[in-house]
Chains A and B, each alone.
Chain A
Amino acid sequence: MAGLVLLVLFVLLALLAPVLSPYDPLAQSIPESLSPPSITHPLGTDKLGRDMFSRMLYGARISLTVGLAVVALAGGLGTFVGLLAGYLGRWADELLMRVTDIFFAFPSLILAMAIAGALGPSLRNALIAVAVVSWPIYARLIRGQVLALREREFIQAARSIGVSNRQIILRHLLPNTLAPLLVQASFDMGTTILSVAGLSFIGFGAQPPTPEWGVMISEGRNYITTQWWLTGGPAIGILLLVAAFNLVGDGLRDILDPQLRR
């Protein structure tokens, strides 16, 4: 419940960022640089005098959008591969699963960094890179579900009355795999937000002056003990948003699979 409340709060803050932001997140004001939190700047300002609160709000927007885009891309591709592998079986299953094995072998951040490096550092390319390393988990998950469902009576009944493969996959198999997909997607939103922030932090994702949380921590790294608000704000933002997705994932799993509840 706490996770859901937190998540709704973040979504609202992100949606209302243009209304709630007291300043333009990119507007510089050198005389006000490195000001501590105050009434005029609730989360202080950075070294270029930009308002940290406004940057935080726009940062939430970026993190949520990136998370959604990656999960949609990776979830879509993984689900497609998993459905095909599980339903077609035999050589198609063997081939597709060996391809997923290849992607599982890479430590995700190293591969994502290589992809982002090859395509050129930008938020869009970081997003593509993280999606490329994230889809195999969905493929395995959905394939497992389909293998279990394939032999169930309702699928055999559909097959026996001549329903086409496409219809069986789309109308009968896909809807029954959505519950575990949703749980995985929720956990993955958190992991994606961390990965993209990490890539941006080392320079392979969003580029300054974009108000992305990983970039903001990187920009404030030399002030971590003196002007703590430069890094503390974005770090707490990431922590709370990722924790919210993890808690929602836990909650969904408990609802959908009460046996796992502990």
Chain B
Amino acid sequence: MKKAIALILGLTMILAACGCCADGVQELIPIVFCLDWTPNTNHTGVYVAKALGYYEGAGLDVTIVQPPEDGAVLMCAAGQAQFAVDAQDTIAPALDRDDPLGVTAVAAILQHNTSGILSRAGDGITSPRGLEGKVYSTWEIPTELEMIRYCMEKEGADFNTVKLIPNNLTDEPAALRAHQTDAVWVFYGWSGIRAEVSGVECDYWDFASLASELDYYTPVILANNDFLQRDPETAKAFLKATAQGYAYAIEHPQEAAEMLIAGDTTGSLEDARELVMASQEWISARYRAAEPAWGRFDPERWNGFYSWLYKNGLTARDLSGTGFSNDYLPEE
């Protein structure tokens, strides 16, 4: 008898507890955010928005995942992730198809293309002309090689004299110091800063300052098209919270970098604290650059790059006007 009473009491308590939960807490909408690579300072705003509860406040439960190699766009197109990180140049082949992959760039993480060519100081690769007769580590992406050829020819230099070797480098400054290569494409906010931090004397030139048509958007946040159509409000809520995360990272680089390191489940950043901090200081000033708001695309600049791709035979279709949208960003 006593046992039965205890059992009934216990059950009532459990039921009561459940009822209280269901009433008190709103159901969060699960969102999967797929990175383009291991966590780095490009992603800081997302980690901040998660750490400071901006997502939860917007009714979202955001999970950050890493893609299989080159797989972020596919994960997003397949609906395995609602959002993913990629770049305007690398999604071009995904859009240049009879049945384009169903993704749209909905926010620019950085306003400008901050990539360029890093080389050892003293080798004279301070401009595209300097690459003549030097060894360049390439990913063998047609767009990559065409951009270098274009910049060299602008200066009257001969691209065919460049010796190409495969790029399988992970630490570019160290590889330059060890003479594994003479020149390599880097994103300054990470590898350029790494050269500074590790004291490797380097030269650097970037594409955006040589040709405005090469000042495309990299990296960007992509969204799945079906998801955007089905649930635009959730997409907007996510981008609003993300914009808040980046706004915080712009104001407070050091605190934001700490949140990135703490949120990085791979643990790879903990060992590179100095680099993360220096990179964050550099990149925080460039998320929004001189624009009034974070994330917005300038259609002219987006289209300028895509028509450059088309003119140079890198896409079969003129992709101008496709692949991006400012509609899901918070109002200015």
> Does A pair with B?
no
Write the residues of chain A forming the contact surface with B, with a CB cutoff of 8 angstroms. Answer: none
B residues adjacent to A (C-beta < 8 A): none
